[in-house]
Amino acid sequence: MKLLLSLNKISSWKLKNNYPFIVYKTMTKKVSKLIFLLILFVIIISDVKSANLYKIPSDQDIEAYFLSNDSNRNGMIICSIHGNEDLAYRVLKNLVYKSSYFPSDFNYIIVLQPSKYRIDNKRRTNYEGLDPNRTFLNLYSKSAQFIIKLVNQYNPLFLIDIHQTSNNSSNFFYSFGNFDKIIKNIYSIYQKYKIANRSIYCDDYYMLIDLQKDLQSESIKIFSSLGVKIDKYKAPNRDDSYNSVSVLRNFSTINGIFSVLFEFSFDSKNDQLLEILLNKYLFYLSTVSDKLINYSWLCKKIEKYYFKDRYFLVSNHYDNLLRLLEILDFFYIKYYYNVEKIDSVMFLEISNLDLLEVQEFKNFIYLDLKLNLRNKILDQGLDSFVIFEQNMLSSFLLNPLYLESIWNFVVLPYGRKYIPLYLYVKRN
């Protein structure tokens, strides 16, 4: 601004004064040299300011940025995944250019428009009418595929997912992903079917709970300090959502990312509220980056400990194996073709199968599989199986006990009697 003013001053000075030709010419030369230098200066300055903002290559429908502070720690912000909740897009589209808004301890991956089509048309659902925030396992939206790739590529330490809600009882609602609750859910299912081989309740698990509580209560303090009405977000018709990972908050949580859902009410004052609150919260997160690293490390340690000696086996003869591998490759789930000698596995027999439309899985119809778990002595050679590591993600994707498993979406065009999947749990 100052530079522009001085440029204006110079040109008006040049016009007003009526010097002899020779002087005028010299002055013009000097002035143009000065103007040239100033323009160069302005270009250099503006270049320095915006040099750290890169557009992430994507499908035309998606707009995302990488704001680099040359840090080795990344954070992620997802705006307006539901196109009718455009607050975050509206506010962040101006902020991405203000690098001073974002604390410099982190780099930021900002998905500004998960879908231009949805935002332009104020659509909650994608073209096919599916809720995009239900597609983080079944991959039925480009935005979910894109965000999953970013999560894998950048390994963020935190993820903020910004939505809007028609609930007007508060200005702002928050909800955290809880790694402990999700893994506890997996553990309780294994207990129910008597296939748990070790207890989840180890020292690391309790350390994680303490750290999580600490981060969450400090976060709530930040939210409360804004002096507006805030509340914990509860999705309608649901008490506990920790058995579904198709929503982004839980999907990122199982990857050991400290994840927070922001929900703002549809109130015009909330544009300003989001701008202030997000800034304050990012500054808070930049002061606890060591805790966030510890959080991620603990999640991964617990996961490794709990899923050790557990595998999924899928028959080599399964006709849709390539499709299955393609999906698991996308999620970076490891598999092998060789394993030590296994005599006995458990397999899941379908005892009943129904179509199910559950309110909480809006717009999706699921197969409700009633399963019996049976032991089986392997009569096939081991070379006729593909062996998958069990971990948080593969447990949701492959285990048909979960409504969101792959078997429900892509690869179940076979008889109703069984799924070509075996569980192998090494007993200690």
Q: Which residues bind Zn ion (CB under 5 A)?
A: 82, 85, 163
Which of 112, 421 has the CB closer to Zn ion? 112
Which of 85, 180 has the CB closer to Zn ion?
A: 85
Least Cβ distance, residue 117 to Zn ion (angstroms): 16
Q: Given the complex with Zn ion, which of 118 and 142 has the nearer CB atom?
A: 118
Count other C-beta atoms under 10 Å from residue 217's C-beta: 9
Q: Are strands 258-265 and 74-79 parallel, antiparallel or unpaired?
A: unpaired
Which lies closer to Zn ion via its Cβ, residue 63 or residue 85? 85
Q: How far is the CB of 101 from Zn ion (least distance, A)?
A: 23
What minimum distance in Å lies between the beta carbon of 162 and Zn ion? 9
Instruction: For Zn ion, give the closer residue by CB, 118 or 163.
Output: 163
Question: In terms of C-beta density within 10 A (0-12 exposed, 13-18 middle, 19 or more buried), how is residue 26 classed?
Answer: exposed
**C-alpha neighbours within 13 Å on the C-beta side of residue 99:** 19
Note the helical H segments in 126-226.
142-154, 179-192, 203-224
- To Zn ion, the closest distance from the beta carbon of 243 in angstroms equals 20
CB of 277 to Zn ion, least distance (A): 17
Report the distance separating Cα 195 and Cα 183, nearest Å: 15
**Closer Cβ to Zn ion, 73 or 82, answer by number:** 82
Using Cβ positions, the residue closest to Zn ion within the complex turns out to be 163
Nearest approach, Cβ of 269 to Zn ion (angstroms)? 19
Q: How far apart are CA 158 and CA 295, in angstroms?
A: 10
CA neighbor of 193 nearest in space, from 23, 367, 425, 356: 425
Find how far residue 412's CA is from the centre of its chain: 27
Contacts of 4-13 spanning 24+ positions with Cβ under 8 A: 6/38, 7/35, 7/38, 10/34, 10/35
The CA-atom distances, in angstroms, between 30 and each of 12, 15, 18, 264, 374 are 15, 14, 16, 56, 90
Residue closer to Zn ion by CB (options 172, 306) is 172
Neighbours of 93 (CB within 10 A): 16
Question: At its nearest, how many Å lie between Zn ion and the CB of residue 230?
Answer: 17
Report the Cα 249 to chain-centroid distance in Å.
6
